[in-house]
Homo-oligomer: A and B are copies of this chain.
């Protein structure tokens, strides 16, 4: 087990990464100081629960904790206000008090939803992330929690840092291939955002990473977490630099919303979004190699880079307008300056974005 520390003053917390950690959750919760008298709520989903709930629940029971479990249907559509309310009901009837904690056992969907419950229940109780997907190495770090509004993704939420993240790499073994690739998209994003050597290393080891070779995937996820920690500790509430984490997300979120949540997976959508950001950068005069290199890396991971024809420009623009990056009438994009370096570009005109959307549909030779 390796431990990264997220330094945020009195909201600091550890990220434990390694194999075999879910059976240690009980001990880690004891050591974190959660009182035995206050019940713990485990939130999980219909895929993850049958596979891993027992390990967590029995390790907690062994330490003397009482637990309440709430299982949501798997999938992005579950990040809804309906499930938020249903979990609140479970928390109340289960007797959770101000000293209780919510444990999120699953991917980013469970983490974001359970995290917003923890942020709002009695105005905020403790929260523990137990990520089980590759993608959730990203979503479980940094304290952003949210649910979707039918009109826009992650629109309702909070900043609520976990007390602890326990990332059991063994859990990844049951993850469907498509989910692995989707998760690797966020790993690639961390590299494209800020770390050129990491991008090179990732491209070299793409095959082994996709196959979840333990040494490789462990190193990649630890490094990717560390990159995110570095950004988040500089700017916890996204007043500035933290926005670079949204590389590929402005367009990516719009693709998710327009396609219907779950049609493209989150990582797939931001992969197309990163291709779009590269195109936009080139359109604004930056080097064409930014686009061709970006595409090559994404393809090494079998990720999509072309936007299907059926996605209407109007709908995508409309969805972007509802996004948090749309401010005072213009849109802000995170654009690559080169591979492994980005800048925040404000005030981009709608027409430029429309053009890029058109080019994204043309396949890999947009010019």
Contacts and interface: CB of A to CB of B under 8 A. Distances in A.
Dominant SS among interface residues on chain A: mixed
A157 B120 contact: yes
A122 interface: yes
Given A158-B123, A324-B97, A149 B89 contact: yes
A149 B327 contact: no
Given A38-B327, A81-B85, A98-B327, A123 B146 contact: yes
A124 to B, nearest CB: 7
A46 interface: no
Interface of A: 35, 37-38, 81, 84-85, 88-89, 92-93, 95, 97-99, 119-124, 144, 146, 149, 151-152, 155-159, 237, 321-322, 324, 326-329
A158 B119 contact: yes
A158 B124 contact: yes
Nearest to A150: B89
The 9 closest A-B pairs by CB, nearest first: A37-B328, A97-B327, A123-B157, A122-B324, A92-B151, A120-B156, A92-B322, A81-B85, A123-B158
B158 A120 contact: yes
Given A92-B151, A149-B88, A322-B92, A38 B156 contact: no
14 contacts: A81-B84, A85-B149, A88-B149, A88-B156, A92-B322, A98-B324, A99-B327, A121-B155, A121-B156, A122-B155, A122-B324, A123-B144, A123-B157, A123-B158
B151 A328 contact: no
Contacts of A99: 327-328
B149 A92 contact: yes
A113 B262 CA distance: 31
Nearest to A116: B120
Nearest to A321: B95
A123 B81 CA distance: 15
Residue from A93, A146, A157 having most chain B Cβ neighbours under 10 A: A157
A190 B35 CA distance: 33
Contacts of A321: 95
A86 B81 CA distance: 11
Contacts of A38: 327-328
A328 B85 contact: no
Nearest to A123: B157
Given A98-B324, A324-B97, A37 B156 contact: no
Contacts of A93: 151
Contacts of A322: 92
B35 A328 contact: yes
Given A37-B329, A98-B324, 14 more contacts: A35-B328, A38-B328, A81-B84, A85-B149, A88-B149, A89-B151, A95-B321, A99-B328, A119-B158, A120-B120, A122-B157, A123-B146, A123-B324, A124-B159
A99 B119 CA distance: 22
Nearest to A147: B120
